[in-house]
Amino acid sequence: MVTKQTNDFASLDFLDGETLLIDKPPQWSSFKVVHTIRKAINVKRVGHTGTLDPLATGLLIVLTGRNTKQMMNFEGLSKSYNGIILLGKSSPSMDTETEMMDRALPKNLNDDLIFKTRDTFLGDIEQIPPMYSALKVDGKKLYDLARKGKEV
């Protein structure tokens, strides 16, 4: 796959197909990014290669025009994540979307325990996704169900 970098928006051929690397802002859904791009470039065939939760920021790969046929080429690519952990707090959504509650810190909390725990999240892991995630069940996003008080 050939990519080109340009600062000249007018030189891009969105109908023929472009690959856009978008830094998705917080509070925007992946769909809102696609919808905004679709309106700005006046091309119907615009899609993204993976949903980011609305509060998440980061790389959203957006394809236009004929490039939308290339979406499968991006699915198996490796990803990395980073974040900030707030110790002594928790929330039902596991992020700042819902009300934060105080939680007691473990009595044996120290840097070694923090780094040892962090290391269990490195590499390939299996986990149960939280209800406040973009994962779809029966075509519905979990975070939409969670906001309605439903649990799957």
Q: Three-state SS for 89? A: strand
Judged by DSSP in three states, 10 sits in helix
Question: Taking the alpha carbons of 125, 131, 132, 134 in that order, is the dihedral positive or negative?
Answer: positive
Q: Is 5 helix (H, G, I), strand (E, B) or coil?
A: coil
Q: Which residue among 8, 53, 102, 144 is the active-site one? A: 53
Residue 6, SS3 per DSSP: coil
Backbone φ and ψ for 19, nearest 5 degrees, come out as: -115, 120
The single-letter DSSP state of residue 50 is S
Phi/psi zone of residue 78: left (φ > 0), alpha (ψ -120 to 50 degrees), beta?
beta
Q: How open is the CA angle 5-20-47, to the nearest 5 degrees?
A: 155
- Measure the N-to-C terminal CA separation of the chain; round to a whole number of Å: 39
Is 102 known to be catalytic? no
Which residues are catalytically annotated? 53
